[in-house]
């Protein structure tokens, strides 16, 4: 769940025309529903969890930076007023597919779907939550906490 938390935090974003500067800082409360499958043993188990994510959004360049995880800006698209991110990657033998959408102006509901698959296991995660604008100091404090 921690890796997912870091990955999802890297993806959250929004925009607000009322901001005087080029950045928006978000706090998103989220609930996870996870289905794990052991493909060889044909076993399934479920998990539920909650987490809070903090992100810094570059409104000019449509990018986001998570307070936790890899210090890497992610680029997103805006489609009909909704920020959208889709990514597929293969890393360390695990294929991951992720989609994210976040209603913006003002920050609102976020929805994320993730499928991670290797030869032995699959993990399907669905996350929903609400985001709100916070001060830059809140983001900086979260960024300085250990992963």
- 82-91 sheet: strands from edge to edge: 74-75, 63-66, 43-58, 23-38, 121-133, 109-117, 94-103, 82-91, 77-79
64-116 residue pLDDT tens:
888 988 788 888 887 777 888 899 999 999 999 999 888 777 778 889 999 99
Termini Cα distance of the chain: 12
Whether residue 35 is predicted with pLDDT greater than 80 in this model: the reply is: yes
In this prediction the pTM is 0.74
What pLDDT is recorded for position 102? Answer: 82
State the burial class of residue 77 (Cβ atoms within 10 Å of its Cβ: 0-12, 13-18, 19+): exposed
Within 8 A by CB and 6+ apart from 18, the residues are none
Distance between CA 133 and CA 140 in Å, rounded? 14
In the structure, what pLDDT confidence band is assigned to residue 14 with cuts at 50, 70 and 90? very low
In the structure, what pLDDT confidence band is assigned to residue 147 with cuts at 50, 70 and 90? low
Average pLDDT, the chain: 83
Cα angle 47, 51, 54 (rounded to 5 degrees) comes to 150
Whether residue 3 is predicted with pLDDT greater than 60 in this model: the reply is: no
Cα angle 85, 74, 121 (rounded to 5 degrees) comes to 65
What pLDDT is recorded for position 120? Answer: 93
**Residue 147, helix vs strand vs coil:** coil
Can you read off the two tokens belonging to residue 30?
């989220």
Whether residue 16 is predicted with pLDDT greater than 80 in this model: the reply is: no
């Amino acid at each position: 769940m921690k890796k997912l938390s870091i990955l999802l935090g890297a993806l959250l974003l929004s925009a607000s025309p009322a901001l005087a500067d080029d950045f928006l800082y978000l706090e998103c409360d989220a609930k996870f529903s996870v289905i794990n499958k052991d493909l060889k043993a044909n076993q399934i188990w479920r998990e539920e969890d909650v987490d809070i994510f903090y992100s810094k959004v570059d409104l000019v360049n449509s990018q986001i930076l998570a307070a936790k995880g890899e210090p890497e800006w992610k680029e997103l698209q805006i489609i009909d007023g909704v920020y959208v991110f889709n990514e597929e990657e293969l890393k360390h033998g695990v294929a991951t597919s992720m989609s994210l959408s976040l209603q913006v102006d003002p920050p609102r509901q976020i929805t994320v779907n993730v499928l991670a698959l290797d030869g032995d296991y699959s993990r399907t995660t669905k996350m929903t939550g609400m985001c709100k604008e916070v001060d830059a100091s809140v983001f900086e404090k979260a960024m300085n906490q250990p992963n």
